[in-house]
Amino acid sequence: MDMKSIRAIAFVIRCSGAATAAFELATAFGLPQAVWAAMSALIVSQERLLETRAALTGRILGTLLGAGVTVIVSEIASRAGTPVAAQMAIAIAICALIAREYPRYRVAMWTCAVVLLTAQHAAPIELVALRRATEVILGAIVGWTFHFAAEAIVHGLLRQQGCPRLILTNPAPTVPSLAECVPARKNKPSPLRLRLNLGRPRSNG
């Protein structure tokens, strides 16, 4: 099996497995909307492992930021009878100002809408924000875990196919998701043999 096929199979398995595992874990933990965990597991998965790790960090911090801003805005605005649409506009505007300077936290804006639009009158906004943040963060962690496991498995398969060594063809931060298999050069003369050959007189016959 060539490297392209291994990459394709690994990608399909890790995406499908991450979404399914995130949904099942969220359901097992009693989270009411496990769909956000499945979606987060897919969104956080990038082509390269370092990109997935960066997306994981930004997603966790951005989710916490968005949930916190939403709770504060909702607590203050609801006392004045501000409608949900206006609360969402204010919360997203605040997060947009932060994301303008720190783009990795852009998910905070999305979190504001998710928390407010899934809130119920019977549940306090703090509880809703905690549930949505837990679902999203759980899914992100599961997505990164599956990507990390896929990397290890594929590297092992490539070694079993006779690749003497594995190197990363691109340095960080553009490290590919799977290591490129670079076979060692065969019949390469050693420095000692090369010196001996250079010192040996050539025959003209």
Helix (H) or strand (E) holding 181: strand 180-181
| 3-class SS of residue 124 | coil
For residue 167, what are the β-bridge partners? Answer: 180
Q: pLDDT tens, position by position, for the chain (205 residues)?
A: 667 777 788 888 889 999 999 999 999 999 999 999 999 999 888 777 777 888 899 899 999 999 999 999 999 998 998 999 999 999 999 999 999 999 989 999 999 999 999 988 778 999 999 999 999 999 999 999 998 888 888 777 777 766 644 443 344 333 344 444 444 444 555 554 544 455 555 555 4
Question: How far is it, in rounded angstroms, from Cα 202 to Cα 85?
Answer: 89
Tokens in use for 189? Answer: 């003369």
The residue extents of the domains of the chain are 3-167
DSSP state, residue 169 = S
pTM greater than 0.85 (yes/no) = no
